[in-house]
């Protein structure tokens, strides 16, 4: 760690999704200098709900964010998988106290934009200058031990280490590892959020 701390260039995290923000918090809390490069000009994470399983909620607690997470989350008592056509219950799993007792940390559900905003705030609290918005990575030049990031806006930046958190169509992956398009597996998921009172009573 000390070698990296002495490096001139910061650690670069490409992408400020849940992955990039999480790794930035972990590194900043350990004392590393971090810059998070995000292609979007402003933060405006969209999306529906997200589940935080006990292994993840343990990490939030270790970061000191356990109470903040609890305040914006709910803990469902059970989760039920239904047959999408007939509505038949295929499987029901206990999620509330039972899961917390089993794994030593709560299971939560919350709105994804609220989780994203909480992580953005925490990165800013740790380093007000951590974000570089409007920076879409287009290439990485230089050798592996002295990478230089090239952005669509004409900027470039040196990094001591590059962390790819730029999602499923990662430019980092394409430039430095494999450049293959994603394969459509024909598996599709639909998701949504609605007020509980709009559900039939048996699903509430
Ligand atoms: C329908 C669905 C439901 C899910 N439910 C859950 C759940 O309940 N619980 C759970 O734990 N996980 C869930 N997941 C998985 C989880 O959402 C993902 O694993 C996670 O969001 C991935 O985060 P990420 O930061 O790696 O990528 P992303 O969220 O894709 O973020 C990538 C970021 O990088 C930026 N970016 C991309 N390219 C560049 C570039 N060239 N330069 C700069 N910035 C760039 C993007 O703008 C974006 O901000 C779900 C996924 C889906 C699809």
Residue 98: inside a domain, yes or no? yes
Domain range for 7: 2-199
- Count of CB atoms situated within 10 Å of the CB of 79: 15
Q: How far apart are CA 80 and CA 177, in angstroms?
A: 39
Paired tokens of 7: 């490096």
Tokens 């740790």 locate to: 126
Average pLDDT over every residue of 36-65: 94
- Which of 18, 51, 53 is the best mutation target for the ligand 1 pocket, counting ligand atoms within 8 Å of the beta carbon and taking the most? 18
- Ligand 1 cavity residues, CB under 6 Å: 14-20, 37-40, 50-51, 136-137, 165-167, 171, 189, 191
Q: Is the pLDDT of residue 203 over 80?
A: no
117-138 residue pLDDT tens: 999 999 999 999 999 999 999 9
Reported confidence tier of residue 191, pLDDT bands at 50, 70, 90: confident
> What is the pTM for the complete model shown?
0.91
Q: Provide the Cα torsion 106, 111, 117, 122; round to 10°.
A: 0
- Domain of residue 30, CATH code: 3.50.50.60
Residue 14: inside a domain, yes or no? yes
Q: Is the pLDDT of residue 116 over 50?
A: yes
pLDDT value for 1: 46
Paired tokens of 37: 């490069």
Average pLDDT over every residue of 161-170: 96
Residue 90: inside a domain, yes or no? yes
* Cα–Cα nearest to 100, from 64, 51, 49, 57: 57
């Amino acid at each position: 760690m000390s070698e990296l701390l002495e490096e001139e260039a910061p650690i670069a995290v490409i992408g400020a999704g849940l992955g990039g923000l999480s790794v930035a918090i972990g590194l900043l809390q350990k004392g590393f200098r971090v810059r998070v490069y995000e292609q979007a000009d402003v933060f405006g994470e969209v999306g529906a709900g997200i589940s935080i399983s006990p292994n993840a909620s343990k990490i939030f607690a270790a970061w000191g964010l356990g109470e903040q997470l609890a305040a914006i989350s709910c803990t469902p008592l059970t989760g039920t998988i239904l047959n999408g056509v007939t509505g038949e219950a295929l499987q029901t799993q206990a999620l509330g106290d039972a899961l917390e007792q089993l794994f030593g940390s709560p299971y939560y559900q919350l709105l994804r934009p609220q989780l994203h905003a909480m992580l953005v705030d925490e990165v800013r609290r740790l380093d007000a200058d951590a974000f570089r918005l409007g920076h879409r990575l287009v290439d990485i030049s230089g050798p592996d031990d002295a990478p230089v990031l090239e952005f669509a806006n004409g900027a470039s930046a040196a990094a001591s280490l590059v962390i790819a958190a730029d999602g499923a169509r990662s430019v980092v992956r394409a430039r430095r590892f494999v450049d293959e398009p994603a394969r459509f597996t024909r598996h599709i998921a639909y998701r949504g959020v609605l007020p509980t009172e709009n559900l039939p009573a048996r699903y509430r």
